[in-house]
Amino acid sequence: MNRLTLIGMPGSGKSALGRIIATRLGWQFIDTDLCIERRFGKKLQAVVDQVGTEEFARIEEETVLGLTSEGAAVISTGGSVVYSEAAMRHLASISTIVFLDVPIHRLHPRIARAAPRGIVGMGEGGLEELYRRRFELYHKYAHSIVLLDGENLQDAATRIISQCGVS
């Protein structure tokens, strides 16, 4: 299949790695968060603030369900996409789903550098609680799991391409 969907926690590198992989393979790059930002004309956090998390989840699901299977592409999703079974079924039907498994100690500094950002479901338990809730879902939906623990982006992209058998 000439489509990869990258799932994982905020800060796991889905967008950055997706761009690199798409460029190397000559594929289209689709970032569902950017699709939502373009639709609303504002940053993701502003969209979440405007519509609330429940409506945002519906918008995210609608955005994913609107993706077609046409053409080779790397799809970068929002970290919360795994809360939608319909979205994940659709992604599985049009792509190979790859979970970018980044240890939580690597996520903290990345998220701090990128703040503020739209992180759906971040509550009082913070990143650790969010990680715990989503980890099982990422495993449930992934066709392939790639552990990333400190590689640079170029090396990580090479491993993902190799592990997923795409070219």
Neighbours of 106 (CB within 10 A): 15
Q: Is 12 among the annotated ligand-binding positions?
A: yes
Give the model confidence (pLDDT) of 125-156 as tens digits: 677 787 888 899 999 999 999 999 888 999 99
Q: What is the spatial distance between Cα 69 and Cα 64, in angstroms, rounded to a whole number? A: 11
Q: Is 134 among the annotated ligand-binding positions?
A: yes
CATH number of the domain where residue 72 is located: 3.40.50.300
- Please tell me the total count of domains within the chain: 1
Q: Is 11 among the annotated ligand-binding positions?
A: yes
Give the model confidence (pLDDT) of 65-82 as tens digits: 999 989 999 999 998 899
Q: Is 93 among the annotated ligand-binding positions?
A: no
Q: Is 13 among the annotated ligand-binding positions?
A: yes
Q: Is 14 among the annotated ligand-binding positions?
A: yes
Q: Where in the sequence is the domain holding 145, given as residue range(s)?
A: 3-164
- Burial bucket for residue 21 (CB in 10 Å: 0-12, 13-18, 19+): buried
Q: Between β-strands 28-31 and 3-7, what pairing exists: parallel, antiparallel or unpaired?
A: unpaired
Q: Is 8 among the annotated ligand-binding positions?
A: no
The answer to whether the predicted template modeling score (pTM) of the entire model surpasses 0.85 is: yes
Strands (DSSP E) found in the chain: 3-7, 28-31, 73-76, 96-101, 144-147
Q: Is 69 among the annotated ligand-binding positions?
A: no
